[in-house]
Amino acid sequence: MSKDLKKFEHIIIGSGISGLCCALELTERSLELGERAEIAIISSSQLIPCSLRTTSSVALQGIQKGLSALGDLLFNSYKTFTKSYDFYQFKSIEKVKRLHFSYDENSKEKLKNRHGRIDSFNFNSKNYEGVCEDGYVISPEHFHLELIDLLKERGVTFIDDLVVGLDKNEKLITGKAGLYQYNKLVLASGAYTILLPVLKSKKDDLRRVKGSEVPGHYYEWDFQYPSSFILTIDGHNLCYRHFDKKLVLGGSTEKDRVSLLREDQLKKMYEGFGQYLDLPSIDQAKKLTGLRQKGVKRTPYIGEIETDIFALTSLYKNGFSVSFEGAKILADKILN
């Protein structure tokens, strides 16, 4: 049975946060010109986006401009994220305080060196020292749905299909169910990028694009607390989202290989945070794991791979902030 050919100006492979942000920025540019771009997002429901399996928080974390190219990108990404939050008023993102706890003189010194200060703050009716900064918690499933609804209103087509082939000369994408032609192609496929046929012939040359897959593990509970928060100890987070009443503990990884849930790491984190909040029992937790894509030297890839093929990948732990800034950078390159 032959497949019907569907044509689009832009095709984005991947329906995680980076793919959705690319589509959002491209539709925004089209609206500014009074036009309506033909955009399709192709993704398979068999592959769960990386951004749906994460503790989902954003904060500046002491990052300053002028120290490194990556630091500048992360700083600008945070600022772009906050502007997008203010502009779109996303209901599934909540502005909170992120509290970094200092538990001894060594941790206190590390926080002071990174943030340039030590704060006094109150949490759960007790006073502590550490760093208090603005942050955001995100309900990933609801946020994805908010973006999808907005993009559908703007005419973006969502296609559930698994990409199995690519003809670069004819600009044809072959899926299991359909055949699609693009003018510009964007890879926003996270940890699944290595599976795409576009990378098979140049796997070594495109190491920066495909990155490396790093698993993250976390506990999730149904929980009740008066307001959302982010608690941080040594870079690990305990996040509460009042929006969907979820308490999430995670942030551990095991380098360079996918593994089963590391109970020993999570239990140690659980004990640490238990000093500041009465946590539900581990037996009540949903135990989850997900992939994150880490770039070379933790640097995201934002650019053109070859003629008319672009990528926004390897966002690692900064997917919810770098996606907005990266989409703007990439849109400039696509529409240039």
Percentages (nearest 5) of helix, strand, coil residues in the chain:
35, 35, 30
69: which 2 tokens? Answer: 């190219």
Longest distance between any two alpha carbons in the chain, whole Å:
70
Mean pLDDT per segment of 10 residues, for the chain of length 336 residues?
84 95 96 91 90 87 92 96 96 96 93 95 96 96 96 97 91 93 93 70 59 79 96 92 93 42 77 95 88 79 91 86 96 94
The pLDDT value given to residue 2: 62
Cα gap 187→300, rounded to integer Å:
13
The pLDDT value given to residue 199: 59
Does the domain at residues 95-136+212-294 carry the CATH identifier 3.40.50.300?
no
C-beta separation of 325 from 25 below 8 A = no
Domain ranges of the chain: 1-92+139-211+296-336, 95-136+212-294
Give CA angle at 19 (13, 23), nearest 5°: 105
Cα gap 288→189, rounded to integer Å:
20
C-beta separation of 144 from 91 below 8 A = no
Q: Is the pTM of this model over 0.95?
A: no
The pLDDT value given to residue 296: 76
C-beta separation of 250 from 231 below 8 A = no
Q: Which CATH superfamily is domain 1-92+139-211+296-336 in?
A: FAD/NAD(P)-binding domain (3.50.50.60)
